């Protein structure tokens, strides 16, 4: 009785809907018995977590689905207490070290070592190792990543690590080399349409093909989104109309409007208005990188071809600076101003030519 | 030592009185000694070169180059013997004199030395004595009286009438040496030559002497002439009239003045001398006058405030409250300042007196930057109003005890001793440094006893109040920083007077008159520049002026401009610095900083400025602005907040930038600042801290405008923090209680970006606003789904009372707040109150059911689904319906006892059966339970939760 995303999530490797070949390989890896550390990466909504949980089930059987949540407490050297939530079954534990913020190193060092050092008691179990799943590894601090290196080698006999990340670029090379990297690419549009059709069939609703295509396009190859959109649209209006408006998250609409404002007016006043909107977005916990990304997308839509390269490189530059700095608003605004300057100059020049 | 000295000296003089007489004779002879004058002259000049004082003990040294070499062995012998012949008494005396006169200037000594050529040993001795006696009168006035016949002298302190030469010793003392006529010189020389020709040496001693003489003379002449010339030139430059004023007088003058500084010398003595703003003065004075009734038992004249200023005499204007405009100010600028001042005076003087006859505000708090004359004002006004000012400042101990003692002493007692027992007026200076406890005590004593007085409601007779701790004297507090936290209670209780900056014209005028008095040549513009440089700090102005006086030249504008001192290292407020950053200075302002700033001051000046260097003479030149901003930013120090302010305000500034290039560059600097700051914070490495201020300079050059704009305090960042924190906590509460199987697939980001925005429309299906029973099967299914989603994501509806007293249901946790933006064209659907209420109830029930199913024997999911559906059909009635249904209960009960206990109209068939059965049982039983009123067939029995739901 949950969202369709959760309801129709395949729980075994065999039931996967796409990337079937990869699924087979994973299956083989499990049966062969020589299970390495894994680094699973790919864009959001591609099915990383689905694969991980299917893999676990393949390894340990249905017992792995009996989950419990635990809170673990750590004390930092500066005597600050931090609490990290873990999700665990008898066979594995999942943790997001980012919950500890800049103290993620301590979580890695203490908790993982603890888990790794203890042997699996259940001799009847299929595997002699436990699995530790670390999510959002690309957001770990460098310290924490380095802390992970030795642990991974030392406790190979008792524990395997599965690291989940969006991109490998922020993971240090030593970690990458210790893991078997598995890329889960975003599903193709066809895959998404297939899944959408399958779900609507199971739900007993009719999904026109055109509408499915529209949904798939709109979802930007993010299956989670596609399913959520489908469900939301179904709640909004059923039977589906091909022209029907697809539900969008507010923040995306808001960002799109912001982008349009940037294109329509270039002045300090417009800058001030855009700033207000960016503050609003930031206060709604939208990641600053996401803001720049979506803004760029919106701008590029309205922008002349010859400017696209320049603006994109600007966006990349400011996104990078943003990661290096403290106050994201400075950098986002710098990007906005830069775009406005470029765009304004371009407009004036093209007018002059006419 | 000095004091003791004259006594033995006098004694000595008396003892050798006859010898003195002899000596005088000798003096006469020696006056006509041939070589003397030359040697004298020469030696003086030499002494300029050899700066070590050639006193008696060092004479052998000095004789190396002096004419003493030329003197024969016999002379030195005789000298030796002379020494030997001295009586022990004399020897001791001589040594003492040597010690005492160790620092004697050579000139005086020379008077004695000049007589050396005489060969008699006795003469030598006498010479020594004479030398000392000669000097004494110069140094000490008293002995002079003893020496009635004044010997002829060659060296003078005063300008002599005879032809003379003016010399200056190395100590800077000015002396005048008498010149002899050429003739007499020549004659003496011949005499000497004729006397001493051809005894032991082949060449006569005299000729040797002459040779030596000429050599040394020519040498020393050269050197001394140069020095002399230099000195003369300097003297000529300063337009002092040396001839008019004697050297002695000058010395005396300067001595007198250095004892008390100009600050004391030129402190305003009475009310009219005050330089501070007229309004403040008047308000303070008026407030003091309000005390008249309590202190002097005089009636205070309280005037109606609406008296016409033009008609009424001066006092009427004084009565006007702090807001009154002075009538002296004609120019608009002044007027503007007044407005500013008025705005800042948060305390309006209240005219009424309290029952004890004292003004309602018993304390005045004067605040303002240092050096404006706050303390002086307080003193002058207190004296003016007939009080004896008792000052208490930071140098005194100011713990509570001491404070109490002081306050009591000053405000409740009266000085008995003294011809004129004036009442005290307590002036607490530098109160912002006092501990908070003391200030609290002060405020308490003042306010609390005010309350007591009200209780007593007694007339203002001091006698009655004797027992009570009461402040019956005015208290004036003075502080620099009005917003020191410890002053908060005082600020509320006191009449606050803020000191505006002194009017530059008046200040300059005053300085000008002072400098006239001190013979400093200076003009008005220079004075204005000085005032501006010292930021109208009178004290600083005077100190600088005093310093400049030491130059002894007429002051020029450039002198003041170039001066490195006189700059105050004051703390600038954030708004001042922002103002400076966003403001391009006008031509005239701040010109002294840039134009003449030494190169060393700008070690890090970027190359940008170089091409503009020729422009340096310009007032608002780039280097000037550069230095100005740097100084301002340095003096503020809160870089982080400064930057935030700059960032938030720059789009409102009207600077010239049609292509946004300046904005881009400026923002790049902002980013740079952020990076550096981040680096510092992360690495705790402050070595790059010094680079932060330069970002502001760049910003100034990019974003400054000529028009000054109103600047707002930056709040966006803090607001953002607050909002973000709130939203984050909402998300984290949602995450915390998420079901593990859902949680495992969702990170925080996906929750924020996808799940919440999409689930909101999912849980708001369009339901007809009808009674729940009327829902179709489809709608019921929808509701079921909503409940399912909400439970799995740990959402529910919670009743809330809004501010206007309306009840409404909102999501708990309030993810709507996280997901919803203010978008113009989007209309949001929302569920009606009743639907939300129903959903909330159902969610609770569902949770209970799930909990029970977890605990109890496993129930198959199909059963639960059935169960869900059943209540769905049965009891959608919202609360309102239930309360309505309660009314017919008694009737239903009486006529049909078999109905449900709660009086529900409908029931599940199985449940109904169950209930029926039990009721049937109880009906058969003989036991009945009677309650206080009425009758009930309520029976205690085990009921499972699921029976109710």
Q: Which of A264-273, B412-421, B733-742 has the lowest mean pLDDT?
A: B412-421
Q: Which residue has the tokens 């230095």?
A: B627
Checking if the pLDDT of A274 tops 50, the result is yes
* pLDDT value of residue A192: 93
| Dist CA B757 CA A223 (whole Å) | 15
Give residue B526's Cα distance to chain centre: 26
Give residue A215's Cα distance to chain centre: 20
* pLDDT value of residue B348: 61
A82, A268, A280, A290, best to mutate vs chain B, most B CBs in 10 Å: A268
What tokens appear for B443 in the block? 């405020």
Chain A residues in contact with B641 by the CB 8 A cut-off are none
Closest-CA residue to B539 (of B507, B517, B561): B507
* pLDDT value of residue A165: 93
| Dist CA B102 CA B610 (whole Å) | 58
Give residue B160's Cα distance to chain centre: 56
Task: Report yes or no: A28 at the B interface, CB cutoff 8 Å.
Answer: no
Q: Which of B217-231, B524-538, B778-792, B877-891 has the lowest mean pLDDT?
A: B877-891
What proportion of chain B, given as a percentage, has pLDDT over 90? 3
Local confidence band at B419 (pLDDT 50, 70, 90 cut-offs): low
Mean pLDDT of B784-795: 85
Interface of A with B in 266-305 (CB under 8 A): 266-269, 271-272, 275, 279-287, 290
Query: Is A300 part of any domain?
Result: yes
- The set of long-range contacts for B507-516, using a CB threshold of 8 Å and a minimum separation of 24, is B507/B275, B507/B531, B507/B536, B507/B538, B507/B541, B510/B266, B510/B275, B511/B541, B511/B542, B511/B545, B514/B262, B514/B266, B514/B542, B514/B545, B515/B545, B515/B549, B515/B555
Chain B residues in contact with A315 by the CB 8 A cut-off are none
- This prediction has a pTM of 0.58
pLDDT in tens, A175-198: 999 999 999 999 999 999 999 999
Where b means 16+ CB within 10 Å and e means fewer, A206-238 reads ebeeebbbbbbeebebbbbbbbbbbbbbbbbee
In B569-615, which residue ranges form alpha helices assigned H by DSSP? 574-581, 591-595
Q: Which of B372-381, B661-670, B680-689, B878-887 has the lowest mean pLDDT?
A: B878-887
Chain B residues in contact with A281 by the CB 8 A cut-off are 821
A114 and A261 share a domain? no
* pLDDT value of residue B457: 44
> What count of Cα atoms within 13 Å lies in the side-chain half-sphere of residue B613?
10
* pLDDT value of residue B636: 83
A348 and A203 share a domain? no
* pLDDT value of residue B819: 82
Checking if the pLDDT of B651 tops 90, the result is no
Give the residue from chain B lying closest to A51, CA to CA.
B745
Checking if the pLDDT of B106 tops 70, the result is no
Closest-CA residue to A3 (of B737, B795, B827, B777): B795
β partners of residue B175: B167
| Dist CA B695 CA B645 (whole Å) | 13
Check residues A247 and B932 and name the one with the higher pLDDT: A247
Chain A residues in contact with B668 by the CB 8 A cut-off are 334
Query: Is A244 part of any domain?
Result: no
Q: Which residue has the tokens 């975003």?
A: A186
Checking if the pLDDT of A280 tops 70, the result is yes
What's the gap in Å between the CA of B569 and the closest CA on chain A?
A: 31
* pLDDT value of residue B138: 46
Check residues B298 and B436 and name the one with the higher pLDDT: B436
pLDDT in tens, A108-136: 888 887 887 777 666 665 677 888 999 98
In this structure, are residues B407 and B427 in contact, taking their beta carbons and an 8 Å threshold? no
Mean pLDDT of B27-32: 51
Q: Which of A81-85, B85-89, B197-201 has the lowest mean pLDDT?
A: B85-89
A224 and A175 share a domain? no
pLDDT in tens, B473-524: 888 888 887 877 788 888 888 888 888 877 888 888 888 888 888 777 777 8
Mean pLDDT of A238-245: 81
Give residue B556's Cα distance to chain centre: 30
Mean pLDDT of A207-222: 90
Instruction: Work out the number of other CB atoms within 10 angstroms of the CB of residue B531.
Output: 26
Chain A residues in contact with B652 by the CB 8 A cut-off are 268, 272
Closest-CA residue to B264 (of B513, B504, B538): B538
A215 and A283 share a domain? no
pLDDT in tens, B711-758: 888 888 889 999 999 999 988 888 887 888 888 888 888 888 888 888
| Dist CA B549 CA B522 (whole Å) | 10
DSSP string spanning B148-215? -SPPP-SEESSPPSS-EEEEE-TTS-EEEEE---HHHHHHHHHHHHHHHSSSSSSS-HHHHHHHHHHH
| Dist CA B875 CA B949 (whole Å) | 9
pLDDT in tens, B576-602: 888 888 888 776 544 444 334 443 344
Number of structural domains chain A divides into: 3
pLDDT in tens, B333-379: 444 444 444 444 445 666 666 666 777 777 888 888 877 888 888 88
How many helical (H) and strand (E) elements, i.e. helices and strands, does chain B have? 42, 10
Number of residues that make up chain A:
354
Q: Which of A326-330, B401-405, B562-566, B712-716 has the lowest mean pLDDT?
A: B562-566
* pLDDT value of residue B432: 78
| Dist CA B225 CA B236 (whole Å) | 16
A93 and A132 share a domain? yes
In this structure, are residues A219 and A50 in contact, taking their beta carbons and an 8 Å threshold? no
Interface of A with B in 157-196 (CB under 8 A): none
Local confidence band at B193 (pLDDT 50, 70, 90 cut-offs): low
Using alpha carbons, list the distances in angstroms from residue B470 to A301, B460, B763, B907: 79, 12, 71, 80
Query: Is A88 part of any domain?
Result: yes
Chain B residues in contact with A97 by the CB 8 A cut-off are none
CA triplet B192, B194, B195: central angle to 5 degrees?
65
Q: Cβ of A283 and B727 within 8 Å? A: yes
Closest-CA residue to A96 (of A109, A86, A88, A81): A86
Cα-trace Rg, chain B: 50
A258 and A344 share a domain? yes
Checking if the pLDDT of A95 tops 60, the result is yes
Strand A180-183 to strand B164-168: parallel, antiparallel, or no bridges (unpaired)? unpaired
A130 and A279 share a domain? no
Check residues B938 and B696 and name the one with the higher pLDDT: B696
Checking if the pLDDT of B47 tops 70, the result is no
Helix (H, G, I), strand (E, B) or coil at B621: coil
Give the residue from chain B lying closest to A134, CA to CA.
B744
A1, A99, A234, best to mutate vs chain B, most B CBs in 10 Å: A1
Task: Report yes or no: A108 at the B interface, CB cutoff 8 Å.
Answer: no
A139, A222, A250, best to mutate vs chain B, most B CBs in 10 Å: A250
User: How is chain A split among helix, strand and coil, in percent rounded to 5?
Assistant: 60, 10, 30
Give residue B771's Cα distance to chain centre: 72
CB pairs under 8 A between A and B: 197
| Dist CA B7 CA B683 (whole Å) | 75
Checking if the pLDDT of B816 tops 60, the result is yes
Checking if the pLDDT of B662 tops 70, the result is yes
Query: Is A243 part of any domain?
Result: no
A21 and A162 share a domain? yes
Query: Is A241 part of any domain?
Result: no
Check residues B792 and B722 and name the one with the higher pLDDT: B722
| Dist CA B691 CA B670 (whole Å) | 12
* pLDDT value of residue B536: 76
Task: Report yes or no: A348 at the B interface, CB cutoff 8 Å.
Answer: yes
Closest-CA residue to B899 (of B883, B920, B881): B920
* pLDDT value of residue B263: 73
Q: What is the CATH number of the domain that holds A283?
A: 1.20.272.10
Q: Which of A304-313, B252-261, B642-651 has the lowest mean pLDDT?
A: B252-261
DSSP string spanning B869-927? HHHHHH----HHHHHHHHTTHHHHHHH-TTS-TT--S---HHHHHHHHHHHHHHHHSS-
A260 and A196 share a domain? no
A171 and A37 share a domain? yes
Q: What is the CATH number of the domain that holds A59?
A: 3.40.50.300
In this structure, are residues B635 and B569 in contact, taking their beta carbons and an 8 Å threshold? yes
Checking if the pLDDT of B328 tops 60, the result is no
Query: Is A242 part of any domain?
Result: no
Tell me the average pLDDT of chain A: 88
Mean pLDDT of B924-937: 60
> Highest-confidence range of B58-72, B428-442, B547-561, by mean pLDDT?
B428-442
* pLDDT value of residue B304: 45
In this structure, are residues A274 and A261 in contact, taking their beta carbons and an 8 Å threshold? yes
Query: Is A269 part of any domain?
Result: yes
> Highest-confidence range of A197-206, A243-252, B803-812, by mean pLDDT?
A197-206
* pLDDT value of residue B9: 57
What proportion of chain B, given as a percentage, has pLDDT over 70? 54
A335 lies in which domain range? 250-353
Q: Cβ of B674 and A331 within 8 Å? A: yes
| Dist CA B948 CA B875 (whole Å) | 11
Residues whose CB falls within 8 Å of the CB of residue B724, separated by 6 or more in sequence, listed in order: A282, A283, A285
A339 and A231 share a domain? no
Local confidence band at B14 (pLDDT 50, 70, 90 cut-offs): low
Using alpha carbons, list the distances in angstroms from residue A321 to A318, A329, B668, B758: 5, 11, 10, 32
What tokens appear for B165 in the block? 């030469």
How many helical (H) and strand (E) elements, i.e. helices and strands, does chain A have? 15, 7
| Dist CA B87 CA B92 (whole Å) | 9
Query: Is A245 part of any domain?
Result: no
Mean pLDDT of A215-238: 89
Residues whose CB falls within 8 Å of the CB of residue B593, separated by 6 or more in sequence, listed in order: B624, B627, B628, B631
pLDDT in tens, B151-174: 566 777 777 777 777 777 777 777
A284 and A178 share a domain? no
Q: What is the ipTM of this complex?
A: 0.90
β partners of residue B164: B178
Strand A38-41 to strand A180-183: parallel, antiparallel, or no bridges (unpaired)? parallel
Check residues A155 and B92 and name the one with the higher pLDDT: A155
Local confidence band at B136 (pLDDT 50, 70, 90 cut-offs): very low
Q: Cβ of B757 and A250 within 8 Å? A: yes
Chain B residues in contact with A283 by the CB 8 A cut-off are 719-720, 723-724, 727
Q: Where are the beta strands (DSSP E) in B462-504?
A: 475-479, 495-498
β partners of residue B471: none
Give residue B583's Cα distance to chain centre: 23
Give the residue from chain A lying closest to B666, CA to CA.
A334
Q: Cβ of A341 and B736 within 8 Å? A: no
* pLDDT value of residue B398: 72
What's the gap in Å between the CA of A105 and the closest CA on chain B?
A: 16
In this structure, are residues B395 and B431 in contact, taking their beta carbons and an 8 Å threshold? no
Strand B155-156 to strand B174-178: parallel, antiparallel, or no bridges (unpaired)? antiparallel
């Amino acid at each position: 009785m949950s969202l369709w995303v959760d309801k129709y999530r395949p729980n075994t490797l065999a039931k996967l809907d796409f990337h079937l070949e990869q699924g087979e390989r994973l299956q083989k890896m499990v049966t062969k018995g020589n299970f390495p550390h894994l680094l699973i990466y790919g864009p959001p909504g591609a099915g990383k977590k689905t694969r991980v949980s299917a893999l676990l089930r393949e390894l340990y059987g249905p017992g792995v689905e009996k989950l419990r949540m635990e809170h673990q407490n750590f004390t930092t050297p500066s005597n600050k207490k931090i609490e990290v939530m873990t999700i665990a079954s008898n066979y594995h534990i999942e943790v997001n070290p980012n919950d500890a913020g800049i103290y993620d190193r301590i979580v890695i060092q203490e908790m993982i070592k603890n888990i790794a050092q203890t042997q699996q008691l259940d001799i009847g179990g299929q595997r002699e190792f436990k699995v530790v799943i670390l999510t959002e590894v690309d957001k770990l601090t460098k310290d924490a990543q380095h802390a992970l290196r030795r642990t991974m080698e030392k406790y190979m006999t008792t524990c395997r690590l599965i690291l989940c990340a969006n991109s490998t670029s922020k993971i240090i090379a030593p970690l990458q080399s210790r893991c078997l990297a598995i890329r889960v690419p975003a599903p193709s549009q066809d895959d998404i349409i297939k899944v959408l059709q399958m779900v609507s069939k199971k739900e007993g609703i009719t999904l026109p093909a055109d509408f499915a295509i529209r949904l798939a396009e709109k979802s930007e190859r993010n299956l989670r989104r596609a399913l959520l959109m489908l469900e939301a649209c179904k709640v909004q209006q059923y039977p589906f109309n091909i022209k029907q408006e697809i539900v969008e998250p507010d923040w995306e609409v808001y960002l799109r409007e912001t982008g349009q404002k940037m294109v329509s007016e270039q002045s300090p006043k417009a800058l001030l208005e855009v700033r207000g909107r960016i503050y609003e977005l930031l206060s709604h916990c939208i990641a600053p990188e996401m803001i720049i990304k979506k803004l760029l997308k919106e701008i590029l839509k309205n922008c002349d071809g010859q400017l696209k390269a320049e603006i994109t490189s600007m966006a990349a530059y400011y996104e990078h600076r943003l990661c290096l700095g403290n106050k994201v608003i400075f950098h986002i605004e710098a990007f906005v101003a830069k775009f406005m300057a470029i765009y304004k100059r371009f407009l004036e020049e093209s007018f002059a030519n006419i | 030592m000095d004091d003791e000295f004259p006594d033995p000296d006098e004694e000595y003089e008396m003892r050798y009185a006859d010898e003195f007489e002899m000596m005088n004779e000798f003096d006469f002879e020696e006056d006509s000694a041939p070589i003397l004058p030359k040697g004298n002259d020469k030696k003086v000049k030499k002494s300029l070169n050899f700066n070590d004082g050639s006193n008696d003990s060092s004479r052998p040294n000095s004789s190396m180059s002096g004419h003493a070499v030329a003197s024969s062995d016999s002379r030195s012998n005789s000298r030796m013997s002379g020494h030997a012949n001295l009586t022990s008494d004399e020897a001791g005396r001589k040594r003492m004199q040597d010690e005492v006169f160790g620092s004697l200037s050579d000139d005086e000594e020379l008077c004695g030395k000049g007589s050396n050529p005489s060969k008699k040993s006795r003469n030598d001795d006498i010479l020594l004595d004479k030398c000392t006696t000669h000097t004494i009168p110069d140094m000490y006035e008293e002995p002079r009286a003893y020496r009635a016949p004044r010997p002829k002298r060659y060296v003078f302190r005063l300008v002599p009438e005879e032809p003379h030469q003016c010399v200056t010793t190395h100590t800077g003392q000015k002396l005048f040496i008498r010149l002899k006529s050429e003739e007499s010189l020549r004659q003496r020389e011949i005499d000497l030559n004729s006397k001493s020709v051809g005894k032991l040496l082949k060449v006569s001693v005299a000729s040797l002497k002459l040779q030596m003489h000429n050599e040394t003379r020519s040498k020393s002449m050269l050197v001394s002439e140069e020095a002399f010339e230099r000195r003369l030139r300097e003297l000529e430059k300063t337009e002092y009239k040396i001839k008019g004023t004697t050297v002695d007088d000058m010395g005396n003058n300067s001595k007198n003045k250095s004892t008390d500084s100009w600050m004391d010398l030129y402190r305003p003595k009475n009310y009219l001398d005050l330089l501070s703003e007229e309004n403040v003065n008047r308000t303070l004075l008026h407030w003091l006058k309000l005390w008249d009734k309590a202190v002097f038992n005089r009636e205070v004249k309280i005037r109606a405030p609406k008296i016409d200023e033009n008609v009424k005499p001066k006092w009427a204007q004084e009565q006007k409250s702090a807001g009154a405009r002075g009538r002296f100010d004609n120019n608009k600028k002044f007027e503007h300042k007044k407005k500013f001042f008025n705005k800042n005076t948060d305390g309006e003087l209240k005219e009424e007196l309290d029952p004890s006859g004292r003004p309602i505000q018993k304390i005045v708090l004067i605040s303002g930057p240092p050096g404006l004359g706050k303390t002086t004002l307080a003193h002058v006004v207190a004296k003016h109003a007939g009080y004896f000012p008792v000052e208490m400042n930071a140098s005194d101990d100011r713990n509570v005890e001491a404070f109490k003692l002081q306050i009591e002493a000053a405000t409740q007692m009266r000085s008995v001793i003294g011809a004129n027992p004036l009442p005290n007026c307590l002036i607490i200076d530098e109160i912002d440094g006092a501990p908070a406890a003391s200030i609290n005590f002060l405020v308490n004593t003042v306010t609390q006893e005010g309350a007591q007085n009200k209780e007593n409601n007694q007339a203002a007779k001091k006698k009655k109040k004797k027992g009570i701790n009461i402040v019956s004297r005015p208290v004036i507090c003075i502080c620099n920083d009005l917003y020191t936290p410890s002053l908060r209670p005082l600020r509320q209780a006191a009449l606050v007077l803020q000191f505006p900056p002194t009017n530059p014209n008046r200040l300059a005028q005053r300085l000008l008159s002072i400098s006239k008095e001190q013979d400093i040549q200076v003009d008005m513009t220079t004075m204005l520049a000085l005032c501006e440089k010292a930021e109208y700090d009178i004290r600083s102005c005077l100190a600088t002026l005093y310093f400049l006086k030491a130059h002894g030249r007429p002051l020029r504008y450039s002198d003041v401009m170039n001066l490195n001192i006189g700059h105050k290292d004051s703390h600038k407020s954030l708004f001042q610095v922002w103002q400076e950053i966003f403001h391009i200075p006008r031509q005239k302002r701040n010109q002294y900083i840039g134009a003449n700033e030494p190169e060393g001051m700008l070690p890090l000046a970027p190359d940008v400025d170089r091409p503009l260097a020729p422009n340096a003479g310009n007032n608002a030149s780039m280097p000037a602005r550069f230095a100005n901003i740097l100084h301002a930013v340095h003096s503020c120090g809160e870089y982080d907040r400064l930057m935030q302010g700059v960032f938030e305000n720059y789009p409102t500034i009207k600077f010239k930038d049609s292509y946004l290039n300046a904005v881009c560059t400026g923002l790049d600097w902002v980013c740079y600042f952020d990076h550096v700051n981040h680096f510092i914070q992360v690495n705790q490495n402050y070595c790059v801290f010094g680079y932060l201020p330069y970002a502001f300079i760049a910003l100034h050059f990019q974003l400054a405008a000529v028009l000054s704009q109103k600047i707002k305090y930056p709040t966006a960042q803090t607001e953002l923090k607050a909002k973000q924190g709130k939203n984050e906590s909402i998300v984290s509460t949602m995450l915390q209680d998420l079901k593990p199987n859902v949680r495992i697939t969702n990170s925080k980001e996906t929750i924020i970006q996808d799940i919440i925005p999409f689930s909101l429309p999912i849980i708001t299906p369009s339901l007809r606003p009808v009674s729940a029973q009327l829902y179709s099967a489809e709608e019921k299914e929808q509701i079921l789904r909503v409940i399912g989603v909400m439970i799995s994501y740990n959402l529910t509806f919670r009743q809330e009372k809004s501010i206007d007293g309306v009840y409404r249901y909102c999501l708990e946790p309030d993810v709507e707040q996280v997901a919803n933006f203010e978008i113009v064209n989007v209309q949001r659907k929302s569920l009606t109150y009743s639907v939300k209420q129903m959903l909330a109830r159902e969610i609770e029930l569902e949770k209970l059911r799930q909990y029970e199913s977890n605990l109890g024997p496993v129930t198959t999911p199909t059963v639960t689904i059935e169960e869900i559906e059943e209540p769905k059909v049965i009891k959608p009635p919202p609360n309102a319906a239930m309360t309505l249904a309660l009314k017919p209960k008694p009737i239903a009960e009486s006529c049909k006892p078999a109905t449900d206990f709660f009086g529900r109209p409908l029931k599940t068939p199985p449940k109904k059966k169950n209930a029926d059965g039990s009721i049937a049982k109880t009906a058969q039983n003989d036991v009945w339970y009677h309650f206080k009123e009425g009758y009930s067939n309520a029976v205690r029995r085990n009921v499972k939760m699921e029976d109710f739901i």
